[in-house]
Each structure stands twice: as C-alpha cells, then as structure tokens.
Structure 1
Amino acid sequence: MKAITIIQPWATLIALGEKQFETRSWSTKHHGELAIHAGKKIDREACQTEPIQSTLAKHGYTADNLPTGVIVALCNLEECYMVDNSHVYGTIGLKAKSGKFIMWGGSRGNEYYFGDYTDGRYAWQTSNVRQLPAPIPAKGMQGLWNWAG
C-alpha cells in the first residue's frame, strides 16, 4: 500500500477527519488506498495557532502528546488538484486534470487554515479516513512510499 509521511499536527488532523486536503508542492497520479504516516517532526509553533490548537484540544491532543513515527490512519486518495487562484479575488480554486473544479469563496472553514493554498501548489483530496485504534510504528520516507502494513 502507498503511504505518505506528514509532519504533525497535520497527520493527526487528517486522521481525526478534520483535514480533507493535504497540500503539497508536487502532484501525484496515485489514486486509491493511502496510509497516513505521522513523521517524527512536530511543528510546535503551528500547534499553538488557531484553529489548529482548538481543533486538536477538542480531541484531547496538544503538541506534547501527538503520535510520531507511526501510521495513524488509512484513507482513499480521491483526487489531486492544482491550486489556481486566478479567478475571483478572495476565492481559492482547485483544478484537477480530470476536469473537476472546486472553488471556495467567503468563509472557507478550518480547511483553509490547515493547508498552504498558494497558486501552483497541489491539494490531495482524501476520503473515507479511518483512524487506527492503535498507531503502527513505521519508518517514514519522502514522497510516496510502499508500506507493507
């Protein structure tokens, strides 16, 4: 199964179902099952910003108890969108090679604050996220990698 390593708190936000899009500087053609690996790094500064801090707290997490070096969830990778903000001022546009298009305007909810939606980046859309009852230790890697779980 393909896996991706994501630093904390973003891996846990996906596992909790609070974050649907993982933003990256690179695209992927992979679709289907994907394991979410929490890397060993925790962005403690991000954990102190809103709405990340309150979202983690709602689920009993702080920067001090986030799991690291483990697979925290399984999900489906539905689509990979390119961020395209050239439309209407104040909106976020996500455009897929398949022709799908998503546009956010006005209130974007927490999702906007849980990613980097700069023009030219990519937003990987996850679905059917299943948080593991007990995280599974695994050594992560850069890029997509094969996990034998």
Structure 2
Amino acid sequence: MRCITIWQPWATLIALGEKKFETRSWATKHRDSIAIHAGKKVDKAICQKEPFRSVLAKHGYTVNNLPTGSVVAVCRLADCLQVIEGCGGEVKLESPSQSIAIGDKENAFGLFDAGRFAWELTDVRLLPKPIPAKGMQGLWNWEGNK
C-alpha cells in the first residue's frame, strides 16, 4: 500500500477525520488506498493554538500523547486538486472533476497557498493501535505488519 509520512498533529487530525485535505507542493496521480504515517516530528507550538488544541482535546489528545513513528490510519486518496485562490480570502480548489471551496477550520489545518495541491482524503479509518514504521519522504510503499 502507498503511504505518506506527515508530521504531528496533522497526521492525527487526518486519522480522526478532522482534516480532509493534505496540502503539498507537488501533485500526484495516485488514486487509491493510502496509509497515513505519523512522523517523529511534533509541532508542539501549533498543538497549543486554536483550533488545533480544542480539536485534539475533543478526541483525548494533547501534545504529549500523539503517536509518532507509526502508521495511524488508512484512507482513500480520492482526488488531487490545485489551490486556485488562498491566503486572505476564500480558498478554492479545482481539479478536472470538481471545484471546492473549503471552510475556515480546514483552511487552518493546511497550507493553502495558490499553486499548491490539496490531496482529498476520504473513507478514513483510524487504526485501533498505531503500527510502528519508519517513514520516508514522498509516497512510499508500506508493507503493513511485516
């Protein structure tokens, strides 16, 4: 299965279904299942800011108990949309198949600068227990429990 490493708290926000788009500087043609790997880096300062702090707290997480170095969820990468407008106004995302305007909370959870890409993540399933794994840059192949 393809996998992507994401820093905390963003990996957990995806795993909890609170973050629907992962923003990247590059597009992908991959459309299928993808595993979400929580990297070892935790942005402790952002975890204390809103809406991060309250959304994490709602699910029982703090900066001190976020899983790291493990796969935390699997989902479907449904689409890759380009950010058409962002920073300061309404954020608009477009792909050949759809056009989406995102809300304030989603905007707070990503870097939606014009020209970046928003990977639409659907059918998110939080794993019952994080599975330790070494992360990598870019999309990489995760072998599961091997």
Structure 2 CA distance for aligned equivalents of residues 78 and 41 of structure 1: 26
Aligned residue number for residue 62 of structure 1: 62
Answering whether residue 46 of structure 2 is matched by residue 46 of structure 1, we say yes
Q: TM-score, normalised by structure 1?
A: 0.92
For 2:76, what is the secondary structure of its paired residue? strand
Q: Give the C-alpha shift of residue 109 in structure 1.
A: 3.6
> Which string of whole-angstrom CA distances, capped at 9 and with x for unpartnered residues, describes residues 22-74 of structure 1?
01111111011000000000000110110000000011111110000000000
Structure 2 CA distance for aligned equivalents of residues 80 and 137 of structure 1: 27
Q: Give the C-alpha shift of residue 93 in structure 1.
A: 1.1
For 1:124, what is the secondary structure of its paired residue? strand
Gaps in structure 2 of 5+ consecutive residues: none
Structure 2 CA distance for aligned equivalents of residues 54 and 39 of structure 1: 22
Aligned residue number for residue 93 of structure 2: 94
Runs of 4+ in 1 over 4 A off after TM superposition: none
Report the AA paired with residue 38 of structure 2.
Answer: A
Aligned residue number for residue 101 of structure 2: 103
The CA RMSD measured in Å over matched residues stands at 1.3
Q: Give the C-alpha shift of residue 101 in structure 1.
A: 1.2
Aligned residue number for residue 131 of structure 2: 136
Structure 2 CA distance for aligned equivalents of residues 24 and 49 of structure 1: 22
Report the AA paired with residue 61 of structure 1.
Answer: Y
Structure 2 CA distance for aligned equivalents of residues 93 and 109 of structure 1: 12
Aligned residue number for residue 16 of structure 1: 16
Structure 1 CA distance for aligned equivalents of residues 97 and 126 of structure 2: 30
Answering whether residue 120 of structure 2 is matched by residue 125 of structure 1, we say yes
Structure 1 CA distance for aligned equivalents of residues 117 and 109 of structure 2: 13
Q: TM-score, normalised by structure 2?
A: 0.94
Answering whether residue 29 of structure 2 is matched by residue 32 of structure 1, we say no
Paired residues, number: 143
For 1:14, what is the secondary structure of its paired residue? helix
Structure 2 CA distance for aligned equivalents of residues 56 and 24 of structure 1: 22
For 1:84, what is the secondary structure of its paired residue? strand
Structure 1 CA distance for aligned equivalents of residues 108 and 61 of structure 2: 18
Report the AA paired with residue 101 of structure 2.
Answer: M
